[in-house]
Structure 1
């Protein structure tokens, strides 16, 4: 049995007819277009978009206690007790190697599974080799329940050259079970979607694996399958039109705003570097160069011994030479700037380095910054880099503060109503960084259902293709949505199968 939370969740009945558009939860009939399970569920990115598609969640598995509590608070507690899914705390408990899978019948399986290495011993393939990894738990459920659609998400590197073997095992295993999948990964990011289709200003490339159950014979024969989506802007969207302000809250509405404000030291670091930016604009009319600036390496190029440089890694010697040439070219500006900022030498070493990636932005305070071990990185205030599960939170220069967990959740496409309810910020940032971008997941899932409509139950196809193109209309600000409504096609698609 599952290690369920001590809540009064109704248990979905076993053996439900997958063609029946209604399920019984706790003995009460619930009309639903399709049923889905949410594995390695995090805080509910898949849940947000599958509910939007007309699905009903019947099973959730998430091992992290705080993430599970956030999921339950936002997606489960609002439901009547009779409609709540089973909540499982460890997928291993539901997928014993010897014994039945303890997961209810469902039409769609979604999982943002962790990437675990597969053994290369003997270069085995398929289910045998997947055993012992978390992907094996997914395969066990697919093998026994055979949902019509499987939707998996992982980091882009899962399909990279260093993980080629793992990728091949995953694809082969899915085909052996009976899922028609593409061997070419579908890579997508939410910033490639316009606001009208659930996009957000976050560059977050993720690999999506989508499969339709057609049986092992067809799946192993029909291998020439194109990827579900191609990485690129949708509907002609210009990604440079993104504005990070569109996901920000008004400062006056942020409880304990000072908790996210820059410290006096951080402000001093930025002020000092910004003065150099201003001096460069005033004296030269140019921005800072794009290579990493290392102030400690600002010495004349002639002072470097070629033998010393030759002994260094090529990347490091290149940076040192570029910094020396920068110093030689702008020595007058740098000397005056150093005299005006004598405290600069007391900054931590990593804060005496700057990575300018903000193109023609006129001030460091107009950029989006990250305090990294490699230096302060500054980017133009268009779209943000991918949220990560470690504390490397974006600093919004114009607001002189970090983004809040609530804003980070909206960057993932979650609604404004999404709440962490007093949870420690470190846990909230981690959960968002580990999450699934709602808009990107919805885009690839909808595209897959549309492409494989003839192989899928009409009720599922109709429900998905009649849902609005934007899965979360209030993730962005009103100004972003005004732009979307002015430039977007009709938000309704009526190409569903009859």
Structure 2
């Protein structure tokens, strides 16, 4: 018999894809965003168990978690990519009440009422950072009080650390996962430890440098639409051309020595760095480095700027280059992001994390951005997945907010919980 799961803060269904592929049956979905609801239903609507006149996809989770949790059916697995709001530093008490007022508390209320056999939660890596130590401790303590055996060391993982055969994709997307099994409060505390579900390292035998974007993600150019958000504007091409000229010029002048890794600021190519008493130390450091770089290569840099009308026609944020592409010989051979901090260039082995704003990767050799279909592949979604007719910007936002389906599957397999669910093997509760 298939295990039953609920999908909270469901987005467009990354958890759904992972858990259904693992043999689960979806019996409840909650997602507050109407556009994401439409995409979820478009793709997974036929797989959601009907519930006697209730909406196929529930909206805001808060009204659903009254003391009786009336509208949430019994289930074996609770999955949630929950938002992590700041927890109050005052009034902490032991137990569930210390998380009141946060969306995690609504998850805890469902756990308290339904006691599913397993949980899998996902959040941004920052949740495990030092600034949120109290938040993390509160979550772990609450889950243990509810009877869930969880580690107090965060499991942080990224899809680029897995080969494609294990659900990986060439996207650096570190996220925190909390995987737990219901064993009862006594055992949850007695068996508490600090061993993460898995370490943040490549799967044995896998080298992330073996990713190949052409082979593993990118469409054949014959499949790429002629129009869309992936097409670079004339201005964008011009900005990249200017900095490509800089890269090739510097490689020639420096006799093949790669560009420095500090941010290159064309506006700070001056003999004397513009540092005052109020200049922050980090900025003063970059100003000195840019000045020194300019002094060392003044003739070539002045000629480069003159070839491009002094760069004054370029926006300030485009007069900066963050070179992280090591020994690449051209900007057009890199993966790029047009960021407020400048043009960031990396090797095309794997891509930075998708984000919920339209800073989608530019694939230099293809002279375009990635498409929505390629971005969906980076999140482990099948090519049958559709966004309907909504604008690309909405689709990229949803993908940037989503969960990597392949990592969810791998974390559950690594924990052993998935095997026990499918074998209908329940732990002794104490």
Q: If the length of structure 2 is used for normalisation, what is the TM-score? A: 0.94
How far off is 1:86 after superposition? Answer: 4.2
1:480 matched residue in structure 2: none
Q: Which residue of 2 aligns with 1:109?
A: 78
Say yes or no: does 1:339 pair with 2:306.
yes
* In structure 1, distance between residues paired with 2:170 and 2:239: 26
Residue 35 of structure 1 pairs with residue 4 of structure 2: yes
Tell me what 1:166 maps to: 135
What displacement does 1:150 show? 0.5
Q: Indicate the larger mover: 44-53 or 342-351.
A: 342-351
Give the one of 81, 88, 113 matched to 2:58: 88
Q: 1:58 aligns with which of 23, 27, 50?
A: 27
Deviates more, 1:101-110 or 1:173-182: 101-110
Q: Is the 8 A contact 2:217 2:378 kept in 1?
A: yes
1:45 aligned to 2:14? yes
Q: 1:237 to 1:103 in 2, by over 3 A?
A: same
Aligned to 1:410: 377
Mapping of residues 373-388 of structure 1, within 5 Å:
373-388=340-355
Q: Does 1:325 align with 2:292?
A: yes
Determine the structure 2 residue equivalent to 1:263.
233
Tell me the number of residue pairs that the alignment of Structure 1 and Structure 2 aligns.
423
Alpha-carbon separation, structure 1, partners of 2:193 and 2:229 = 53
Matched, 1:351 2:321: no
Contact 2:358 2:397 in 1 (8 A): yes
Contact kept, 8 Å, 1:41 with 1:112, in 2: the verdict is yes
- Tell whether 2:240 aligns with 1:273: no
CA deviation after TM superposition for structure 1 residue 458, in Å: 5.7
Q: Is the partner of 2:282 in helix, strand or coil?
A: helix
Is contact 1:194–1:235 with CA below 8 Å preserved after alignment?
A: no
> Map of 1:410-489 to 2, 5 A cutoff?
410-449=377-416, 456-457=420-421, 459-460=423-424
**Partners of 1:425 and 1:160 in 2: CA distance:** 32
Residue in 2 aligned with 1:251? Answer: 221
Q: Distance in 2 between matches of 1:396 and 1:210?
A: 35
TM-superposed deviation, 1:91: 1.1
5 Å matches for 1:86-235? 86-96=56-66, 98-235=67-204
SS of the residue aligned with 1:446? helix
How far apart are the structure 2 equivalents of 1:330 and 1:393? 33
- Equivalent position SS for 1:377: strand
Q: Give the Cα–Cα distance (whole angstroms) in 1 for the partners of residues 321 and 402 of structure 2.
A: 29
Please tell me whether the aligned partners of residues 76 and 85 of structure 1 are also in contact (alpha carbons under 8 angstroms).
Answer: no
Q: Per-residue CA shift, 1:167-211, capped at 9, x if unaligned?
A: 111101101110011000000000000111111011000000011
Unpaired runs of at least 5, structure 2? none
Q: Which moved more, 1:53-62 or 1:125-134?
A: 125-134
Cα separation, 2, equivalents of 1:57 and 1:441: 15
Partner residue, 1:289: 260
| Alpha-carbon distance, 1:398 to partner | 1.3
Query: Contact 2:262/2:322 (CA < 8 Å) preserved in 1?
Result: yes
CA distance in structure 2 between the partners assigned to 1:448 and 1:317 by the alignment = 47
1:154 counterpart SS class: strand
What's 1:237 paired with?
206
Alignment partners' CA distance in 2, 1:116 and 1:375? 30
Shift of 1:433: 0.3
Structure 1 residue 461: Cα displacement: 6.5
Contact 1:59 1:85 in 2 (8 A): no
Name the Cα RMSD after superposition. Answer: 2.1
Deviations along 1:211-232, one digit per CA (max 9) or x if unpaired, are: 1100111112221251111100
SS of equivalent residue, structure 1 residue 346: coil
> Structure 2: how far apart are the matches of 1:193 and 1:72?
29
Contact conserved, 1:126 with 1:170, CA < 8 A, in 2? Answer: no
- Relative distance call for 1:258 and 1:74 in structure 2 (3 A) is closer
CA distance in 2, matches of 1:105, 1:364: 54
In structure 2, the partner of 1:11 is none
Secondary structure, aligned partner of 2:120: strand
Kept in 1, the 8 Å contact 2:248–2:329? The answer is yes
Give the TM-score of the pair, scaled to structure 1: 0.81
